Chains A and B, each alone.
Chain A
């Protein structure tokens, strides 16, 4: 089975300008939302206490809220989680008191109301740890980008390196933007997913770059733009198939992986879609805009080679 005709020749680069506009628009919206609304950070980063409990039958959210309020947890966020019997309670770190004992007290209160309550999960993150996790997460992202920049620059060319990193930053900002606009919960697993997106999107970009390099060396005629376009067409079917298989497993993860992995699957689904688009439109277009040409990619000739030719 084949997706595209054998002589597929879609003029991707003709769409460069509209694509640029679209990307710019998405990034502006993302940055605007990140700046004004910010991310809905989970307790991994903000610190605080999160308690998940299970009831025998549908839980009465309002009653739970009421009993917590009576016992001094007025600011607790109470909501259903997954099913109507599961309840998630989030308590922000508060002035005056914030310790590992909070979860014990909440559980005592809930057991007083209904002794059948089943403790499913407790997460407590102290303020000092939350701050560190935020810093480490940001650092990880920056180091990953720098290492990748260096590797691609060594292995290919600095213009490719800039192109690929531009695509990665593009992907990360847009995924973060979607999480910000929809106010989806952003926790450690989502951060891991975004770093995996970096890996995935890069994988895609490298495959395209590899073909561009090969074609620059092989195809004698044609402008750089034409060569890039041919390369994109050559790799198109692979790009689509790999995205498709990855999306298939991510959909399985999204629907069957359970609540805890939901954010992770969402971030990766978004990331794979955007990463596929960016490896075509952002990475290649950026490398082209920086003036990549045939001469930059020719294998380095040995220095002695010319001289032997001149010998009589």
Chain B
């Protein structure tokens, strides 16, 4: 009686070995490291490695090891002091072509890495860093699209020589007014034929015929999706410029993006780089009217006053030639002819065509780049959140068109190389599809992160020891079995968390602690049953058998209901709560396995099939 078939023992051994292998990387800790990745047009190869090694050796900075990762080179150091010095050296040596980021690399030995085993992924509350939740202003995204349609429809009507009174964007719709029905009908046909994504409606008001066009639901959805995608791309590029190892940039819900930057301490700079929305407009300078007249209040039709960086006023034409979202690429460099800093710009085909037409007619005239920065903030007004967008415009360069160009051209006359680099960076990052704002921030300083790990570990260890002591005193021999099983349970939880690469947070650790307390419940239920069976006069062997089988359904019911609570926590919870739910759910599953199957296996191994008169319970 009370013997397990061989396959059950084998299964348990396999689970234990696999669990041990995947839990093991967690005890090795991390090495301070630098992660070097390519910024653009350069490769991570042996050449880079040689440059890095030479630079470090020149400064007599000892490194422990280097290794090639996908798309980057990782250099490990013995301590953070050397790491920080090497950071400065390498940033100077490698310049703008490479991004050098501080990182902590797991010191997992090679034999474990062959199993693809790596330590648990620590959440920001344990390793320090910044978490931002960005929200995209979708009303603005739709508004921008409507503005584009206003322009398109205007062009269409002009091409078809259909006479209209006015065309405007009103309440998220294109509104065109006509004097007579005939023109209205022609316009209706033309717009319907050209733009089947617009929903048209008509009405008559005081003798004018009004055509309203709104974007249909499917297209609006597409605009929203595109806005999120484009913003994610832009954020990625900007985060790269910050030099962060292992950043997380993910969509959350329909209109939000999570940005997590482990190890970043200068949150002010991170916010500036991430939060600002920069776009550009190329406009022609109004050469026919004088700025002085405009300043005196006689602003000519079709022009507007802008300010240059030094505060000088300049008059620009209202017509925008090319906008930032038509800029495909931009990079800073040295102009071969003048030797000054320059930015080389590439446009997309639509932008190239417009730019080509424009430059052909305007050689010798001046063209300006307006840098527009937008920050969105939500203010509380009378208890209601109100969204407000601040827009600042500044002319960052004015240059004479030297010749006919379209797709590729250079902007020179910039103040410094730093400014050229900055302009190129913002051009490259591209214009955002829609403004974003930070709606949630959680920053944990590195010292607090370290304290959190320590406190979390300490509470797990102390809680664990208290339970072990209690169980050993209470159930003696069987208590030791329960303790052994509890230790295995802990190892398996850590192994599963490591395998899933789930993020371990402080509430996650709390979940593990709670699991330790509750995991013994299954054993308590079983042992109490066994005691009862012994009391009614059953033999020890029968008592064990009955105890396990009677307790099983109770354990299953109790755990499934707790699992329901954990799953709901996971679905509705955000960030830290999700971490708690994950560890709780994993803990429930593993404790079922260890407390029922593994403990039975051990007890069977000890007392199974033998004549036993007394149990140590």
Assembly CA distance A191 to B403 (angstroms):
66
The answer to whether B447 has its CB under 8 Å from any CB of chain A is yes
Residues of A within 8 A of B573 (CB): 136, 140, 192
The reply to whether the CB of B286 lies closer than 8 angstroms to some CB of chain A is no
Chain A residue nearest in CB terms to B529: A238
A257 and B444 alpha carbons, distance in the complex (Å): 17
A268 at the interface (CB under 8 A from B): yes
Q: Which residues of A contact B476 (CB under 8 A)?
A: 1
A128–B439 CB distance below 8 A: yes
State A138–B439 Cα separation when bound (angstroms).
21
Provide the bound-state CA to CA distance between A249 and B462, in Å: 8
Q: Does B147 have its Cβ within 8 Å of any Cβ on chain A?
A: no
The reply to whether B378 and A127 form a contact with Cβ atoms under 8 Å apart is yes
Of B377, B442, B565, the residue contacting A99 (CB under 8 A) is B377
Q: Which of B152-160, B509-517, B602-610 contacts A (4 or more CB under 8 A)?
A: B509-517
Question: Smallest distance from the beta carbon of B553 to chain A beta carbons, Å?
Answer: 7
Q: Are B448 and A249 in contact (CB under 8 A)?
A: no
Contact of B568 among A143, A152, A189, A244 (CB under 8 A): A143
User: Scoring B residues 339 to 360 as 1 if CB is less than 8 Å from chain A, else 0, what string do you get?
Assistant: 0000000000000000000000
Q: How far is the CA of A81 from the CA of B558 in the complex (A)?
A: 38
Contact of B378 among A98, A118, A248, A256 (CB under 8 A): A98
Q: Are B572 and A143 in contact (CB under 8 A)?
A: yes
| B470 located at the interface, meaning its Cβ lies under 8 Å from any Cβ of chain A in the complex | yes
Q: Which of B289-297, B318-326, B450-458 contacts A (4 or more CB under 8 A)?
A: B450-458
- Per-residue contact bits, chain B 454-471, to A (CB 8 Å; 1 contact, 0 not): 011011001110110011
Interface centre among A147, A211, A214, A248 (most CB of B within 10 A): A248
* A22 close to B (CB within 8 Å): no
On whether the beta carbons of B561 and A152 are closer than 8 Å, the reply is yes
Contact yes or no, A188 B380, CB < 8 A:
no
- Inter-chain CA distance A72–B225, complex, in Å, is 40
* Nearest CB in chain A to that of B454: its residue: A258
| Neighbouring B residues of A103 by C-beta, 8 Å | 267, 441, 443
B448 and chain A: residue at smallest CB distance: A120
Q: A252 contacts the other chain (Cβ, under 8 Å)?
A: yes
At the interface, yes or no: A198 with Cβ under 8 Å from chain B? yes
| Nearest residue, chain B, Cβ from A49 | B441
* Residues in B whose Cβ lies below 8 Å from that of A97: 377, 379
Give chain B nearest CB distance to A261 CB in angstroms.
6
> Chain B interface: which of A63-71, A175-183, A202-210?
A202-210
Comparing A88-96, A220-228, A301-309, the segment that makes contact with chain B is A88-96
A contact residues, range: 35 or more
Question: Are B440 and A126 neighbours in the complex by a CB distance under 8 Å?
Answer: yes
Instruction: Judge whether B459 and A188 touch: CB under 8 Å.
Output: no
Question: Which of B132, B380, B455 has most A Cβ within 10 Å?
Answer: B380
Residues of chain A in range 108-134 having any CB-CB distance to chain B below 8 Å: 118-129, 133
* Contact between B565 and A202, CB atoms less than 8 A apart: yes
Who on chain B is nearest to A6 by CB?
B535
A246→B517 contact, CB < 8 A = yes
Q: How far is the CA of A100 from the CA of B442 in the complex (A)?
A: 10
Mark contacts of B501-521 with chain A using CB atoms, 8 A cut-off: 1 yes-contact digit, 0 otherwise: 000001101100110111011
Asked whether A237 lies within 8 Å of B528 as measured between CB atoms, the reply is yes
A264 within 8 A of B: yes
Q: Would B447 and A120 count as touching, CB distance under 8 A?
A: yes
Q: Does B133 contact A (CB under 8 A)?
A: yes
Contact between A98 and B380 (Cβ–Cβ < 8 Å)? yes
Q: Report B-chain residues with C-beta under 8 Å of the C-beta of A107.
A: 268
Known contacts A121-B445, A189-B576, A242-B524; A1/B507 CB under 8 A: no
B314 an interface residue at 8 Å Cβ cutoff?
no
Give, as a whole number of angstroms, the nearest-CB distance from B490 to chain A: 12
Whether B564 and A96, one on each chain, are in contact in the complex, defined by CB atoms closer than 8 angstroms, is no
CB neighbors of A among B206-260 (8 A): none
A21 interface residue per 8 A CB criterion = no
Compute how far the CA of A25 lies from the CA of B564 in the bound complex, rounded to whole angstroms.
Answer: 30
Q: B59 interface residue, CB < 8 Å from A?
A: no
How many residue pairs link A and B with beta carbons under 8 A? The number is: 264
B569 near A140: Cβ-Cβ < 8 Å: yes
Contacts of B492 in A (CB 8 A): none
Among candidates A192, A203, A252, residue contacting B562 with C-beta atoms closer than 8 Å: A203
A157 at the binding interface (Cβ < 8 Å): no
Q: CB-CB < 8 A to A211: which residues of B?
A: 554
Tell me the residues in window 237-284 of chain A with beta carbons closer than 8 Å to chain B beta carbons: 237-238, 241-242, 244-253, 255-258, 260-261, 264-265, 268
**Bound: A61/B517 CA distance, A:** 39
The interface residues of chain B lying within 8 Å CB-to-CB of A148 are 561, 564-565
Contact call B510/A261, Cβ cutoff below 8 A? yes
A104 engages B268 (CB within 8 Å): yes
Residues from chain A with a CB closer than 8 A to the CB of B439 are 125-126, 128-129
A49 to B577, CA, bound (A): 20
Flag if B561 contacts A260 (CB, 8 Å).
no
Q: Check A95 against B513 for contact (C-beta < 8 Å).
A: no
Q: How far is the CA of A2 from the CA of B268 in the complex (A)?
A: 60
The one of B385, B458, B518, B568 in contact with A256, judged by C-beta atoms closer than 8 angstroms, is B458
The 27 listed contacts between A and B (C-beta, < 8 Å) are: A1-B473, A95-B381, A99-B377, A100-B438, A103-B443, A120-B445, A126-B440, A128-B439, A133-B574, A136-B573, A140-B568, A188-B576, A188-B577, A192-B569, A192-B576, A196-B565, A196-B569, A206-B561, A207-B554, A234-B532, A241-B524, A242-B521, A246-B521, A248-B517, A252-B459, A253-B459, A257-B510
17 additional contacts, CB 8 Å, given A99-B378, A121-B443? Answer: A54-B445, A94-B380, A99-B438, A104-B268, A122-B442, A126-B437, A202-B562, A214-B550, A245-B467, A245-B521, A248-B470, A249-B517, A252-B462, A253-B514, A260-B506, A261-B459, A268-B514
